[in-house]
Structure 1
């Protein structure tokens, strides 16, 4: 397998049909790039099979990554003449999403692709759907019981922290007194805990640790507020890892407003905005670690295959895998040109 093909498999997370490969990140900004789907140009197309109905639910697109998730799912489903996609509003919180899913389950779709508001709180409704014979593909935010889904596809949250930790560690190698800051997303989510643990574990191998940590909430506003608090608490910094490029818009605004430039920053997810800053060298942001929203396209493919009783064409097994974890790659000025077409708009 070529390096390019391998990269596509790792990012896309699934193979489709005979030798099909999925490409990497995508954008929800149609001016820059279309949502990533399995087209004839980048994947072998399967012949239409049994008609299936797939339900889909994800939190409202209050930032670019979630917007790209929903755009990818819709675009991928539209590629299949045998798929009917039913999108249900996730509401403002977990109880609202549960209520919407209860109605969806009553309609008995063949499968549901679900990115929960909160994996633990949505576990029971996932199990209810599975018990009703509906295939559930758990997307990104993990249920607390694996029996609540047929398959789970997610980014490597711990691996994001590892990638960020190695980048920071290499840049600060030998500087054991370095002051490192961290701006995570929503602290209550397991994915945030995994990212922070990967970062801390990796920094430890370099004799480094996080000295200042202020959580945000995956939005521009919370990113700006968290960064302002962090900068006030730390009069000097050597490096900062911001977990999310969407909240990073606010983080960078706070840094610019404070006139701080003595440190470098690593982002998270791989937005087009972050890549532009990395390429132009016009902010403290020098790298970002990926968390591809193309996983939503892959989740639709998995749901269709499972609902039609098929497995992946490149695998011997008769069913799709129970777990797919995507790789996290590091984007710097040296390789940013390769990734620019793949970034989502914040």
Structure 2
């Protein structure tokens, strides 16, 4: 029985009991790999062919486009990976249908960035029960059994990073007015960002005085910011969750002729980083939300199917969850992050 066939059989039997079994490495490690407790793993050496299906929301803003582009580029690096990419969609039913097609086509693994994690949970569970490892990206499923591994940005950490930076900038200003322009309020990731921001501000005696929500688009950012500026005659700092919608936020600020505050961005776009580097605008920082998550998903999917592990870990299987760091980019460190930034 091939490794892939064994993987699928084992996952079908045990998905409800031990999720990690679906990629269990029960045979002897291939040549060039170390066993449990070993040193190096030759992860990049060509191995058994892996067919990976990839589905994500529509690339209607820079960050999502960067996710998809990075995913394709990463897959192209491996001669043993065949990537099947379906058209990005914000239609939940269509995305469910796309995953159903991957299952019917018997792909070896699925990398899935769901438009809505809760809505895509049942079909992800179906894939896992069919023995197809699912790598969940960015927006979590409702069930821990719906994915073999999950790659996440640190949304709560984004809020903490942004709030900590605001606290440092407004040190000693107890009457400071802090505003927040969130993303899609119904998404857990937005809720986590807002919670982290509020928790960090609380540590220095500040709070969010004015808050509006947008939809991660330029148009929604401009509309939400215009409403915020009209409601708040004085602001000392604004944290905008997303640099793509930040293009609209900046337009609204310019139209209103406001410049008494500083801006902290979110996600880490190249245009915001260039403004930070030039130090000639309202943006003084942005908090990175990596657009490499899909690419990381490709690597994990390949390793899971081939029965390999991460070379920098002792464990013989891929991790259950990977949470990426959310650093603050300022003029002091912008040169480090700018080359990898996405264009809004």
Q: Secondary structure at the match of 1:121?
A: helix
CA contact (8 A) 1:88 1:104 kept: no
Structure 2 residue aligned with 1:183: 181
Structure 1 residue aligned with 2:208: 210
Which deviates more from structure 2 when the two are superposed, residues 196-205 or residues 169-178?
A: 169-178
Change in CA separation of 1:48 and 1:65 when aligned onto 2, cut-off 3 Å: same
Q: 2:101 aligns with which of 97, 100, 103?
A: 103
Deviation at 1:281, TM superposition (A): 2.2
Structure 1 residue aligned with 2:37: none
Structure 2 residue aligned with 1:291: 289
After superposition, what is the alpha-carbon deviation per residue over 1:131-168, rounded to whole angstroms, capped at 9, x for unaligned?
A: 00000000000111111000001100000000000000
- 5 Å-filtered alignment, 1:230-249, equals 230-249=228-247
Q: Give, in whole Å, the separation in 1 of the partners of 2:46 and 2:282.
A: 49
- 5 Å-filtered alignment, 1:4-23, equals none
Q: Give, in whole Å, the separation in 2 of the partners of 1:120 and 1:340.
A: 34
Structure 1 length-normalised TM: 0.86
Would you say 1:171 and 2:144 are equivalent positions?
Answer: no
After superposition, what is the alpha-carbon deviation per residue over 1:105-143, rounded to whole angstroms, capped at 9, x for unaligned?
A: 111101000000011111111101000000000000011
CA contact (8 A) 1:179 1:210 kept: yes
Deviation at 1:283, TM superposition (A): 2.1
Structure 1 residue aligned with 2:7: none
Would you say 1:324 and 2:322 are equivalent positions?
Answer: yes
Q: Give, in whole Å, the separation in 2 of the partners of 1:179 and 1:207.
A: 12
Structure 1 residue aligned with 2:266: 268
CA contact (8 A) 1:252 1:283 kept: no
Q: 1:119 aligns with which of 109, 117, 120?
A: 117
CA contact (8 A) 1:183 1:240 kept: yes
Q: Secondary structure at the match of 1:279?
A: helix
Structure 2 residue aligned with 1:65: 63
Q: Give, in whole Å, the separation in 2 of the partners of 1:275 and 1:192.
A: 22
Deviation at 1:307, TM superposition (A): 0.7
Structure 2 residue aligned with 1:201: 199
CA contact (8 A) 1:72 1:296 kept: yes
CA contact (8 A) 2:58 2:64 kept: yes
Q: Give, in whole Å, the separation in 1 of the partners of 2:330 and 2:187.
A: 27
Q: Give, in whole Å, the separation in 2 of the partners of 1:18 and 1:242.
A: 45
Q: 2:152 aligns with which of 145, 151, 154?
A: 154
After superposition, what is the alpha-carbon deviation per residue over 1:305-344, rounded to whole angstroms, capped at 9, x for unaligned?
A: 0011111122221210000000010111111122221111
- 5 Å-filtered alignment, 1:21-32, equals none
Structure 1 residue aligned with 2:307: 309
Q: Give, in whole Å, the separation in 2 of the partners of 1:92 and 1:166.
A: 33
Q: Secondary structure at the match of 1:122?
A: helix
When the two chains are superposed, the root-mean-square deviation of aligned CA atoms in Å is: 1.5
Q: Secondary structure at the match of 1:173?
A: coil
Deviation at 1:203, TM superposition (A): 0.2
CA contact (8 A) 1:126 1:149 kept: yes
Structure (1 or 2) with the greater helix fraction: 2
Would you say 1:223 and 2:221 are equivalent positions?
Answer: yes
CA contact (8 A) 2:137 2:294 kept: yes
Deviation at 1:44, TM superposition (A): 7.5
CA contact (8 A) 2:178 2:210 kept: yes
Q: Secondary structure at the match of 2:259?
A: coil
Higher-Rg structure is 2
Deviation at 1:18, TM superposition (A): 8.0
Q: Give, in whole Å, the separation in 2 of the partners of 1:91 and 1:180.
A: 35
Unpaired segments ≥5 residues, structure 1: 1-16, 20-42
